[in-house]
Structure 1
Amino acid sequence: MAPNIHIALIGISALCTTLLAVLWEPAYQFILDTSVAYGIPVIPRLIKNPIAIDVARDIQYIGSRSADIEHFHNIFYAEDTSGKNRFAPPVPLLPITGSVIDAIKPGAWCPQATGDIFPFTSKIVNISENCLSLRVARSYGTKPDAKLLVVVWIHGGGHALGSGSDILYEPDGLVRQAKIDNNPLIFVSINYRLGLFGFATSKALLGARHTNVGLRDQRAALDWVRENIEIFGGDPKKVTVMGQSVGGSDISLHLTSFGGKRGVPFQQAIMMSGASGLNFNTKSDLVANNTAAIAENVGCVKNGDSQSMETLGCLRDVPFEVLTNISTAMSRAARPPFGEGFFYPTYDNDYVLDRPTELMRAGRFVKGIPIIASWVTNDGAWYASPATATDEDVLATFAPWLFGYSESTKAKLLKLYPLDDFKTMVRPEYDGPISPQYYRAAQINRDLWFTCPVIDFAWQYVKHGGKQTSNVWLYEHNSTRFTPVFETIGVPMWRVSHLSDIPYALNNQQLSGGADNSAMQLELSKKFSRRVAQFVTFGKPDGAIEDTEAWPPAFASVTGEELRGEYPSSISFKLTGGPFGPRSVTVSKIPPKETSSQAEEAANWEKIIRRCEFINSPTVRLESGV
């Protein structure tokens, strides 16, 4: 071939390659967007890893991509917590100038028991003390100057287990739908220390202000977001923090942290099945005694003083595997099955200045935060044994956590939840030989752990000037995608259990473990996640998306006179999912003889105002230690 022809062919080939690259990218993106919108599988192509660049510090973050979502995993916001950093507040970490950060795969989870939890959650296999990391998810093609809204996820797990990287918390559906609705956002989830490593306490730790470090981890991660999320195209001034279970209750602890005097690094909050009243036994010596017991177990108590600096120094030298195995075994033996409530946030006269509900009643919290808070219809199902069959069995279901209840309080609880109320819930042909006492116990536990703390927090926040009554909303979630899983593992009586609203809020379109991914459930998930994005974008959960009716604020009908009282006479909330949802309902302390809908009739059946008024009363709150 003549040299000139060869050169010409090379030039033509290069031109064609360039044109193909220019034309293929938008064409591929069109195909991808269309396929995602209609649920058509697309064979992934070979693509370059997404990159986020910190121009000021010359740092590159190399991520990964799944379809139209870019992921950046294992971004450290604080130093390794081993050695001298064990039990100490997090030490902020930024890579050195010129670093290239491998953010392609998730990193280690914080120390906790390994193994399986549920079929729809991740198997825990990789734990390390070098775990204070976060993950970022954004839409493909997000520009550095996009200034997108930010959602920061704080996972639950009873301060005993979990990670922001759990497959249950996959954010792709939420991020994707938000972009489709022109409400684009960036999702961030964080790891924080758990169990002994996150919440150990002793006189030595109190003296050094090295307490509640799991909470301080969360705050450090939120500080990192405020200072660095612009690198990924986010707006540090528009952050919504979102937490479930203890993740939700921790949000309320951040709002009351330092008596509300230091503000918080977020502007809005979504608290799912969790509020400050969930933090049982805040001022008890339980966690200090548990810390001392572990120190004794590993031979670290020096000169008979479990509270000394010498004992603390010894605990910092024990291999983390030893501390993990011993502390998780003791936690699970005392608080089966997962060890919740063995290590948890406690009063330290620093981050936590008093019992949280007392801080709320004193107005010592960060104000001006729009809030959505919630509970799930059968949130308490886990905490009752299927064998529950007597009054004594019912009381035993919450005794390990709420051990300060007087006999009169226990008697009043049983009276407020008469057995006859639960006889219609029995489904022997489906659930097996389950007594109505089980459903009674599950309902009491739901209200003790979740519903009543949430309502109390919302009421006190409005009552003491945290936000106008028009800026606090409640919902009760009454759908689950876990039904086939619960049937398989033999607990169909759990019904719409704790965790049920997570796949809807995050719009998880590929929930694993045999969960329900039917078209109807995926559509419900899409609609629910749109509510989340709506709130993140506009500071209210409705108004810009189609809906049959508005979502009223929690205390829309409360008068100024009633705000000066101890408890509201009516509460409004959104009933999501189930046979009656989505529907807005209002319940009253004294229900009307005729309700306006079946949804309100079902909601009034729960008697949440009368029951929560007692559970949130001064005597019971004191006995609960909240």
Structure 2
Amino acid sequence: MFRLLVLALTAILADTAAAAAPTVKLDAATLTGNSAGSVHQFLGIPFAQPPVGDLRFRRPHPIQGYNQSFSATRYGRSCPQQHFTAPILQGIPQDIASGVLNTLYTAAFPDGEDCLTINVIKPASAIPTSELPVLVWIYGGAFEFGSTTQYDGTGIVVKSIAMDSPVIFVSMNYRVSAFGFLAGKEVKEAGVGNLGLHDQREALRWVQKYIPAFGGDHTKVTIWGESAGAVSVSLHMLTNGGNTEGLFRAAIMQSGAPPPVGDIEKGQKYYNAIVDGTGCASANDTLQCLRTVPYAKLKAAVDDTPNIFSYQSLHLAWLPRADGVFLTDHPQRLVQKGQIARVPFITGNCDDEGTVFSLSTLNVTENSQVADYFLNTFLPGSLRPQILRLLNLYTENISEGSPFDTGILNALTPQFKRIAAILGDGVFQAPRRFSLNYTSGKQDIWVFLSKRFKLLPFVGSLHGSDLLNSFLLGQELQDYIIRFTVTLDPNSKGLFGFKWPKYTTQDPKQLVFLDGLIPQVVGEDVYRKEEMELLMQLTLDVPV
């Protein structure tokens, strides 16, 4: 009898749990998600046809409709991740590097080509008539790796509910590395460049069509990204002549801005390397040949190309470039032409963006080697007098290098802090300031600088450290992001909240996040002005 009661009770509990599982109707299909307290999660929803077989190296083909019900309780697999090797260091520097890489720059597995999925995390109370604002996250990873599995938006939704400003969080996978950013004349002629950006755009179209079923307002979408994700956000503001197509109304960019990149044919040597590595060099149509290569063989050839921790560092092999379709010109030229979406945005940086990426150049220890590195590896095509002027501005005085404001500390080599300063400004800080020069006064802008974690040896306020301020509960930047998504203003309406002033070039105010007892102050975005102006001119002249 007892056994029968146990079985009956188990069956009742199972039925109750099944009944409690949240569902949503998309077309003719019912999706079953997860319940997490005040939040419902719907994960791993396909938003485009799998880019496999003949669809490899083609723009995403949209889902025509959902006809079969399925479980949406797990994240989909990550898109193919480019393999990278950490710099070989010794002692404490190795411990720091390993900790940073394992925390912030870990490639996501399992991975594979069938990866174009989207995730929706919403308040449990949201119904199709709720019309909640929507926050769409685009992950970073140097356009080489990254996945939605690394970024759980549940805490953001929970916090938004607690703030009485509920939002819906959306994230999508997109193709990275050569799978998403193959370059070369063959790619340009076929019109299949910047596929990762096309994936993101298709996901935004999916949001427009389907987010109302989850309780979202398709007219109140904010796109948000960090690093490569932030660069992606900036490029969605630039594509289509700056016409958003109604896909978003606001943008947030952490450590990313319109990049100093040129024509897609500048990546020809990397295309050729993959063609050679896969045995497609003798094919009449090398691009079509690449579509037929076994995945493992193609992936191995991609992994053999330079990665973010190779000697050339942030001179990336795979990244967005002007392809004549998604980007009709170099991004910074588009900025200069004013072909940018006039939407409110938040943009900002970490203070020491370049430190972790300078660990691969520790063998560059003398002045002459630094000049050769920037002349021949990082900024090839530059004129020697320009590089020498740059090095006169970024001196070898270690107290002036990055991590900034740390005096004579953190000098792994005589040139480490100098190189870190140039890389951080050239790739992250200067492009942001360049963009601000052409958008100031034309839309509402808020700028921040994160100086937290300064005491981390050698890396300081490193690239990606502001993510902790975005995704962890109780952090200020998270609150600002939620309010901005809801009201298009990051500030609280209360009388006693800290006020983040708007930015203009005439009054370049920025919010500064600090360690210690005073966590936030208002500063000015005027540091290293001459240095960054020269860097922008250099990269305009010789884009990647």
Range into which the TM-score falls when normalised by the shorter chain: 0.7 to 0.9
Alignment equivalent of 1:160, drawn from 139, 144, 148: 144
How far the C-alpha of 1:175 sits from its partner, in A, is: 1.2
Confirm or deny that 1:341 pairs with 2:323.
Answer: no
C-alpha distance in 1 between matches for 2:497 and 2:244: 41
1:143 partner SS: coil
Which of 314, 325, 328 is the matching residue for 2:300?
325
The residue that corresponds to 1:612 in the other structure is 532
Q: Equivalents in 2 of 1:333, 1:171: separation in Å?
A: 26
Alpha-carbon separation, structure 1, partners of 2:211 and 2:21: 19
Match 1:356 to one of 322, 325, 331:
331
Asked if the contact 2:185–2:264 (Cα under 8 Å) also holds between the matched residues in 1, the reply is no
Distance 1:284 1:96, change over 3 A: closer
RMSD (Å) for aligned C-alpha atoms: 3.1
Number of residue pairs matched by the alignment: 513
TM-score (norm 2): 0.86
Matching residue of 2:429: 451
- Look up the match of 2:440: 462
In the alignment, is the contact (CA less than 8 A) between 2:261 and 2:322 conserved in 1?
no
For 1:504, the aligned partner's letter is: N
Paired residue type of 1:390: E
1:577 is aligned, of 514, 519, 524, to: 514
Question: For 1:215, what is the secondary structure of its paired residue?
Answer: helix
Offset of residue 623 of structure 1:
3.0
For 1:312, which of 283, 287, 290 is the aligned residue? 287
Structure 1: gaps (5+ residues)? 1-13, 26-44, 487-491, 510-522, 559-569, 589-606
Tell me by how many angstroms 1:382 deviates: 1.3
Provide Cα deviations, 1:459-498, integer angstroms capped at 9, x if missing partner. Answer: 21236x4x2xxx11110012249x7xx7xxxxx2112111
Alpha-carbon displacement from aligned partner over 1:250-270 (angstroms, at most 9, x marks no partner): 112121113335646111000
Which residue does the alignment assign to 2:387? 410
Does residue 91 of the first structure (1) align with residue 72 of the second (2)?
no
Letter matched to residue 107 of structure 1: G
Q: Distance in 2 between matches of 1:197 and 1:551?
A: 40
Corresponding residue for residue 461 of structure 2: 496
* Per-residue CA distance 1:253-291 (angstroms, 9 max, x = gap): 121113335646111000110011x3x442263322211
**Is contact 1:148-1:184 (8 Å) kept?**
yes
Distance 1:608 1:356, change over 3 A: same
Match of 1:80 in 2: 50
C-alpha separation between the residues in 1 aligned to 2:22 and 2:217?
Answer: 19
Residue 506 of structure 1 pairs with residue 444 of structure 2: no
Percent same amino acid at aligned positions? Answer: 25
Which TM-score applies when normalising by structure 1? 0.75
> 1:105-504 to 2 correspondence within 5 Å?
105-113=74-82, 118-120=101-103, 124-166=108-150, 169-261=151-243, 263=245, 265-276=247-258, 278=259, 280-283=260-263, 285-302=265-282, 310-332=285-307, 335=310, 341-367=316-342, 369-385=343-359, 389-395=365-371, 400-420=377-397, 421-422=399-400, 425-426=406-407, 431=410, 434-435=412-413, 437-462=415-440, 465=442, 467=443, 471-480=444-453, 492-504=457-469
Matched residue type, 1:224: W
Structure 2 CA distance, aligned partners of 1:250 and 1:390? 36
Name the SS for the 2:415 alignment partner. Answer: helix
2:524 corresponds, among 565, 582, 586, to: 586
Deviations 1:337-367 (A, max 9, x none): 9887111112221211111111111112222
Deviation at 1:403, TM superposition (A): 2.3
Cα distance change on mapping 1:191 and 1:338 into 2, 3 Å? farther
Q: Distance in 1 between matches of 2:379 and 2:326?
A: 23
One-letter identity of the residue aligned with 1:529 = Q
- What are the superposed Cα offsets for residues 218-266 of structure 1, whole Å, 9 maximum, x if unpaired? 1001111111111111111000000111111111212111333564611
1:395 is displaced (CA, Å) by 4.7
Q: Which runs of 5 or more residues in structure 2 are unaligned?
A: 1-8, 87-100
1:59 aligns with 2:29: yes
Over 3 Å counting, the alpha-carbon distance change for 1:446 and 1:203 in structure 2 is closer
CA contact (8 A) 2:118 2:173 kept: yes
Equivalent residues of 2:40, 2:121 under 8 A apart: yes
Q: CA deviation at 1:94?
A: 4.2
1:623 aligns with 2:541: yes
Structure showing greater radius of gyration is 1
Q: Which amino acid aligns with 1:102?
A: S
Are residues 427 and 70 of structure 1, via their aligned partners in 2, closer, same or farther at CA, if it must alter by over 3 Å?
farther
Q: Secondary structure at the match of 2:304?
A: helix
SS at structure 2 position matched to 1:70: strand
Distance 1:73 1:193, change over 3 A: same
More displaced stretch, 255-264 vs 406-415: 255-264
Question: How much does 1:554 deviate?
Answer: 1.5
Q: CA deviation at 1:63?
A: 1.1
Find the residue that maps to 2:76 and give its secondary structure.
coil
Q: Do the aligned partners of residues 393 and 148 (structure 1) sit closer, same or farther apart at CA in structure 2, a change above 3 Å counting?
A: farther
* Deviation readout 1:566-605 (Å, 9 max, x if unpaired): xxxx6211101334541111255xxxxxxxxxxxxxxxxx
Contact 2:371/2:388, CA 8 A, preserved across alignment: no
> SS where residue 247 of structure 1 aligns?
helix
Quickly say closer, same or farther: Cα 1:106–1:546, change in 2 above 3 A.
farther
1:101 corresponds to: 70
User: Does structure 2 retain, via aligned residues, the 8 Å contact 1:252–1:275?
Assistant: yes
Instruction: Using the TM superposition, give the Cα deviation of residue 501 of structure 1 relative to its aligned residue in structure 2, in angstroms.
Output: 0.8
Give the whole-Å Cα distance in 1 for the aligned partners of 2:372 and 2:203: 38
- Aligned to 1:533, which of 466, 477, 482? 482
Residues 608 and 65 (structure 1), Cα distance of their counterparts in 2 relative to 1, 3 Å cut: farther
Please give the secondary structure, in 2, of the residue aligned with 1:405.
coil
Deviation of 1:185 after TM superposition, in Å, equals 0.3
Give the Cα separation in 2 of the matches to 1:313 and 1:284: 18
CA distance in structure 1 between the partners assigned to 2:246 and 2:379 by the alignment? 30
Q: Deviations over 1:607-626 (max 9, x none)?
A: 33222222223xx1333417
Shift of 1:528: 2.2
The one-letter code sitting in structure 1 at the alignment partner of 2:205 is D
